[in-house]
Structure formats: C-alpha cells, structure tokens
C-alpha cells in the first residue's frame, strides 16, 4: 500500500503579472457553501439541496451542470478537490487570463457532466452528482497541454511498517498523463473503482480541458505571429518603431545589436555616426526598410542640411522601392538642393523625382522633370 501525491507546481521559470483572484474566489465560495450547509442545515435539507442543485441524470436540468460544482458530499471530498484546484488552477488562470479561465472552468464542468450523463448506468441515474472534480479535471487537462514540462513536486509514501515520505519532482506530462489513464481504467472498472465516483466525468472534463487549452495555445501563438509580422512590417517599411519594439526585435534575433544601438543611443553625435553607418550598410544589403528607419531617425536628430547628399539620395531610392512617395520626394529634393561630390548627378535625382510624380498620379509633373533632366544632360 502506498500514497503518491503531487503537492506543488514549480512555476519559478514563469513570470505572470496577473493574480489568480478567480481561483481564490472559487475556493472560498466552495468552502463557504459547504460550511454553511454543514452548520446551518439539517440532513434532510442538505439531501434536498443535493437533489435540487446536483446533477441528477434521470431529472436533468441544464443549469445543474454548473451548480453541482459548488456542492460537496463530505469534508474529504471538498478538501481533495480544493487541494488539486489550488495546485493547478493558479498557473492556468495567470496564463489564460481571468475571462478565458472562467470559460475553461464552465465548459469543463458542462463537458464533464455530459460525460457523466452519457455513461452513467441505469441503476445509478437517480443519484445526484455533486462536486467540482469534473471542472477541476478540465483545469488539469489544460495544465497538461500548456505546461507539459513543469515539474510537480510530489511525495511518495509506502504505508508498510515505518512509512517514510520521499519527496521528488516529475514533469507534469508524466503525473497528469498517468492520472488520466487511471481515470480511464477506473471508468472501465478495470481496477474495481468505486461506483459512487463519477470517473467518466473526470475523463470527459480532462479531455475537454486539454482541447480548450490547445485552442488557447493556438490562438496565442497566432496572435504572437501577427504581432511579430506587424512589428517587422513597421520595421521594414521604415516607420519609426517604438524603442521597446526594437529591443524585442533584437532579443528575438530580427535586428542586430549594432542597429539597435544606433537607433536607441541618447548621444546625438554618436547616433549621427552610427545611423550614417547603418544606413549605408542597409543600402549595400538592399534592405530598404533599414535605410528608411535610419533616415527617419537621422532627421529627428539633426537638421537636413547636416546630412550628406548621398544619404538623402539613398533614402530616396529606398523610399521609391517601398512606394513611399512622400518621403521619396522629400529626400530627393534634399539631395537635389544639397548636391555635392557624394550625391548623384542632378539628372539622376530628377529622374527619381519623376518616379515620385508617377507614384502620386502626376504624369504631367513627371514629364516636365524628365524634360528638365534631359536639358541638363
């Protein structure tokens, strides 16, 4: 004879800002209801309450799928359910958020009672089913798919002669996977499980929780992909990205540290040198977004006349490649009026400005600029 009991989830590697107040509220509500029933009602009144708000398969009312989770049959029943809920629910609520956690709990309760209604034998269909274990099983299923490698500290006691507890930790997929298999075995009566325990409710709740948790994970990963795509779109279009976005892009390998330093340094002189360097590097790499991003930052740091003509011209070409007519026209104009030995010939700049006119649906202006460029040639 032995006892195996997980008692703590090691969540040190996860940092969540949310507080699991919904978990605490459900815990407090279940304990308060049981205490009020025990000390405030007679046995007949308690039995009436079980039949009124418990889930009775032969006299099913849809709302009892939820009210039955608030009732418990004994102190051991209550403490056992609340103990497991306290271990697994807080991390799920912190990860999913309060609203999605509540939805998980309610859908898990409904699914577990659905399994109980379908699989309960005929001779047991007049007995009310009470307890939060079905909904808690859904939380366990969601925990398994969300935190499969989180280690659960557990105690193992062999109840022979001199029991000595052994404390160790196992990954969640082993502990919860074995628990789920045991529920299936008990449901099939392979271990001679007690008929008064709604094992099929545990199985159905766990499966529903795993499915819901998987949907949450898929949704979060899809949102993350969209977020990454949006940040990269802003970066590659040359839009002035927020510094926090830049640090995130650097931490995740989307931009290098040299570009991050050039974009975020507070020293104007150092920023001017680094941005010029990164802009020219971006031009050689044919990275138009990088060129425009550096150009935007340069214009925020210094006056346009302090920027060499070739820098304006490089920004003009990148803006044309990205069909950003406004900044292309501005950079082209700056390159033209600040023509020096580093800048392209005026004719080249005028041709680029003609392309800007075409982008802005001004063919007459484009023709005039090309005529002027031909005269200069």
The number of folded domains in the chain is 2
Q: Is residue 283 part of a domain?
A: yes
Residues 142 and 214 both lie in one domain: yes
Q: Is residue 232 part of a domain?
A: no
Residues 167 and 261 both lie in one domain: no
Give the closest residue to 148 by CA, choosing from 170, 172, 169.
172
Q: Which residues of the chain have pLDDT under 70?
A: 1-4, 11-15, 158-163, 190-196, 231-241, 254, 338-350, 356, 359-360, 365, 368-369, 372-377
Residues 200 and 327 both lie in one domain: no
Q: Is residue 353 part of a domain?
A: yes
Residues 33 and 152 both lie in one domain: yes
Give the closest residue to 174 by CA, choosing from 148, 153, 154, 199.
148
Q: What is the pLDDT of residue 276?
A: 87
Tell me how far the alpha carbon of residue 134 is from its chain's centroid: 25
Q: Is residue 87 part of a domain?
A: yes
Beta carbons of 241 and 231 less than 8 angstroms apart: yes
Residues 12 and 147 both lie in one domain: yes
Residues 46 and 79 both lie in one domain: yes
Q: Is residue 235 part of a domain?
A: no
134: domain CATH number is 1.20.1540.10
Residues 135 and 186 both lie in one domain: yes
User: Final residue of a domain: which of 189, 224, 259?
Assistant: 224
Q: Is residue 267 part of a domain?
A: yes
Residues 64 and 210 both lie in one domain: yes
Q: Is residue 334 part of a domain?
A: yes
Separation of alpha carbons 240 and 193, rounded Å: 64
State which residues form the domain around 86: 2-224
Residues 210 and 321 both lie in one domain: no
Residues 205 and 249 both lie in one domain: no
Q: What is the pLDDT of residue 102?
A: 96
Q: Is residue 37 part of a domain?
A: yes
Burial class of residue 43, CB neighbours in 10 A (0-12, 13-18, 19+): exposed
Residues 215 and 104 both lie in one domain: yes
User: Final residue of a domain: which of 224, 255, 274?
Assistant: 224
Residues 16 and 43 both lie in one domain: yes
User: Final residue of a domain: which of 224, 258, 288?
Assistant: 224
282: domain CATH number is 1.25.40.10
């Amino acid at each position: 004879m032995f006892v195996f009991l997980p008692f703590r989830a090691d969540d040190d590697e996860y940092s969540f800002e949310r507080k699991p107040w919904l978990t605490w509220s459900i815990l407090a509500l279940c304990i308060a209801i049981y205490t009020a029933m025990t000390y405030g009602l007679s046995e007949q009144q308690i039995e009436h309450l079980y039949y009124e708000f418990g889930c009775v398969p032969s006299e099913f009312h849809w709302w009892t799928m939820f009210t039955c989770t608030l009732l418990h049959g004994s102190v051991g029943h209550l403490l056992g359910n609340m103990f497991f809920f306290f271990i697994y629910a807080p991390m799920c609520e912190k990860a999913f958020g309060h609203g999605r956690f509540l939805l998980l709990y309610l859908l898990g309760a409904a699914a577990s009672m659905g399994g109980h209604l379908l699989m309960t034998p005929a001779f047991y269909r007049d007995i009310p089913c009470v307890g939060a274990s079905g909904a808690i099983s859904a939380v366990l299923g969601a925990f398994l798919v969300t935190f499969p490698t989180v280690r659960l500290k557990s105690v193992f006691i062999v109840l022979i002669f001199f029991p000595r507890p052994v404390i160790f930790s196992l990954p969640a997929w082993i502990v919860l996977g074995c628990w789920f298999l045991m529920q299936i075995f008990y449901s099939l009566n392979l271990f001679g499980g007690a008929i008064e325990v709604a094992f099929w409710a545990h199985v159905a709740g766990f499966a529903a929780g795993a499915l819901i948790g998987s949907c949450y994970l898929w949704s979060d990963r899809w949102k993350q992909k969209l977020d990454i795509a949006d940040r990269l779109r802003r970066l590659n279009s040359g839009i002035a990205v927020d510094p926090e976005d830049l640090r995130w892009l650097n931490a995740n390998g989307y931009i290098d540290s040299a570009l991050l330093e050039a974009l975020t340094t507070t020293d104007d002189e150092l920023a001017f040198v680094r941005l010029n360097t990164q802009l020219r590097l971006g031009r050689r790499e044919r990275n138009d977004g990088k060129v425009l991003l550096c150009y935007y930052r340069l214009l925020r740091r210094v006056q346009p006349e302090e920027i060499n003509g070739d820098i304006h011209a490089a920004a003009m070409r990148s803006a044309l490649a990205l069909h950003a007519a406004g900044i292309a026209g501005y950079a082209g104009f700056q390159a033209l009026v600040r023509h020096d030995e580093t800048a392209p010939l005026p004719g080249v700049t005028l041709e680029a400005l003609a392309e800007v006119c075409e982008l802005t649906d001004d063919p007459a202006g484009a023709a005039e600029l090309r005529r002027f460029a031909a005269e200069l040639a």
